[in-house]
Amino acid sequence: MKILVCISQVPDTSTKIVLKNNNTSVSSDGVTYVLNPYDEWYALIRAIELKESGIATEIHLITVGKADVEPVMRKALALGGDEAIRIDAESSDAYETAGYIAAYAAQVGYDLILCGKESIDYNNGTTGTMLAGLLDMDYIGFATDIQIESGAALVKREIEGGEETDTCNLPLVISCQKGVAEARIPNMRGIMAARTRPLKVIVPSKITAVTEILTYELPPAKAGIKLVSPDDMDGLVALLHTEARVI
Amino acid sequence: MSVIVLVEHTGGVIKKKNFEAVQYASQIAKKAGTTVTALVLGTVTETEMEGLGQYGAQKVLHIADARLDEFHARAYSSALVAAAEKETAKIIVTLHDIGGRMVAPRVAVQLKAGLVAGALSYPDTEKGFVIKKAVFSGKAFAYVNILSDTKVIMLMPNTFPATKQEGKAVVERLDISFSEKDFVVKVKSVNKVTGEVSLADAELVVSGGRGMKGPENWGILEDLAKELGAATACSRPVADSHWRPHHEHVGQTGGTVRPNLYIAVGISGAIQHLAGVNGSKTIVVINKDPEAPFFKAANYGVVGDAMEVLPRLTAAVRKFKEQHK
């Protein structure tokens, strides 16, 4: 069984967002880039577990980006994975990203495609669904548990107010979130091994984005906190009613 | 040409957030000089569907196929594409919720349509078709222009309130032939947590952190939640220590909530936690440490011990409810 894991490089959670060029782009000065946590902790680690338990035979990691994403791909390889693929393009929307990955995946053929439920930079959570659409594959989103048995997946996924268990024959695209796997950190052996694993660079297929970001904006500063004495909870309730109008 | 909006329901009951989507779509249609058609799938009563007229839908397309009583992402996508084609709709609206997120992107690639996930504004048609959305987990907003002829908008729930007006939609039956592929994913079992307010839909949330000291102290937090009709949530360390179930974890690696009121009790406010809650309209922080970073992100703060403050707040809410009966 061959697994493709979709990886996105994102600014570290603690990054302070600074806008530049008249608010038309986000500054990368001093920004530390990391593996998107949902891709790493859940999708990639689950793929590795499936290989360790002998169910998966091969894991490929794929990303879309220029050469500057390679350190993050090496870090991903240090956790596990047999091969990394970088589609050499600067994508401007999920449609373009999904298009590049789908074109490559269609050529190779994968039994299972895993991605995180969303990336923490653009918070779309659309790439996995789009990939399934483009590849005419089935899709299960928001998985919290993934088991594979004799060519079929048994997947627990979040639904509103609970969870649902789905079954589906492979091939399948699944987006992963908390519960799918436990976070790990790369060990020395992995880091050494990652150095020699192949990182293929692929020329992108011809795809044009269907959206563009015109400008960015930072949220207005909070007006400032109102402190309420712990002895005056009636006062707090009154504020929530008359001022915030939430109760 | 019309605007089409996907309306999901839970066992035949249409929820408030779906009314928000219908009304949002109807505002867009009004501006474009066209009408709104709502797409309803599975078993729903005529009255429930006609009621969408109160939120601006002129017409409801109803695909009554009982297989659609269960959520099937692929079948729902096929249905939405078929309905959009029938209505020659150039604008398709869904919610940015679990169902919408499993359907809309598939529809978008099928129709080669640009999509905005988590729309926070109406499209600005002055300079194209520009919609605001949150990026970097709420640390910034982006103004996204959809370039394609057909456009898909996934509206963030709890962004625009739905207000009822006079109106009755005309229900029209639509029959489409699904392919076997549309039902390949089989639903084996559904496990709904009953009797509690669902976190994703909650307008009020009471959330606890390590400052609650242990799972045995959650009773007083649940008392407050019950009094308010709020859902309960928790921080990551609390879920990781198994004080609370994982589905209650909100933050960067857990769930995201956007309630009207988020009350954080004994949560320091790490940036990862804030990423999951900063879309909340009002934030109240209760913490005995006045230096807790969460106070910087809060609208109201109470410096005090949760064990003492919580019962007092619950009593105050009870008193308020008595007075406002």
* Residues 10 through 49 of chain B touching chain A, CB cutoff 8 Å: 10
At the top level of CATH, which class does the domain B204-323 belong to? alpha beta
3-state SS class at A158: strand
Minimum-distance CB partner of A246 among B200, B261, B316: B261
pLDDT given at position A162: 86
pLDDT tens by residue, B69-127: 999 999 999 999 999 999 999 999 999 999 999 999 999 999 999 999 999 999 999 99
B227 interfacial to chain A (CB closer than 8 Å):
no
Per-residue pLDDT at B196 exceeds 70: no
Q: What is the mean pLDDT of chain B?
A: 95
CB pair distance less than 8 Å for A133 and B109: yes
Per-residue pLDDT at B173 exceeds 90: yes
pLDDT given at position A196: 92
Q: Considering only alpha carbons, which residue of chain A is nearest residue B300?
A: A226
Mean pLDDT value of segment B289-298: 96
Q: Where are the domains of chain B?
A: 2-183, 204-323
CB pair distance less than 8 Å for A164 and B190: yes
Q: Where are the domains of chain A?
A: 2-220
Q: Please report, for residues A76, A202, B108, B212, the alpha-carbon distance to residue A110 in angstroms, rounded to integers and kept in the order given.
A: 19, 17, 23, 46
> Which chain B residues are within 8 Å of A178, Cβ to Cβ?
246, 249, 253-254
> Which chain A residues are within 8 Å of B196, Cβ to Cβ?
161
Distance between CA atoms of residues B143 and B152, nearest Å: 15
pLDDT given at position B267: 98
A220 interfacial to chain B (CB closer than 8 Å):
no
Question: Which portions of chain A are predicted below pLDDT 70?
Answer: none
pLDDT level of residue B312 (50, 70, 90 thresholds):
very high
B134 interfacial to chain A (CB closer than 8 Å):
yes
Output the six-digit token pair for A176.
């992963």
Distance between CA atoms of residues A77 and A59, nearest Å: 10
* Residues 46 through 105 of chain B touching chain A, CB cutoff 8 Å: 71, 73-74, 77, 97-99, 101-105
At the top level of CATH, which class does the domain A2-220 belong to? alpha beta
pLDDT tens by residue, A3-57: 999 999 999 988 999 999 999 999 999 999 999 999 999 999 999 999 999 999 9
Distance between CA atoms of residues B231 and B206, nearest Å: 6
Per-residue pLDDT at B313 exceeds 90: yes
Per-residue pLDDT at B195 exceeds 80: no
What number does CATH give the domain B2-183?
A: 3.40.50.620
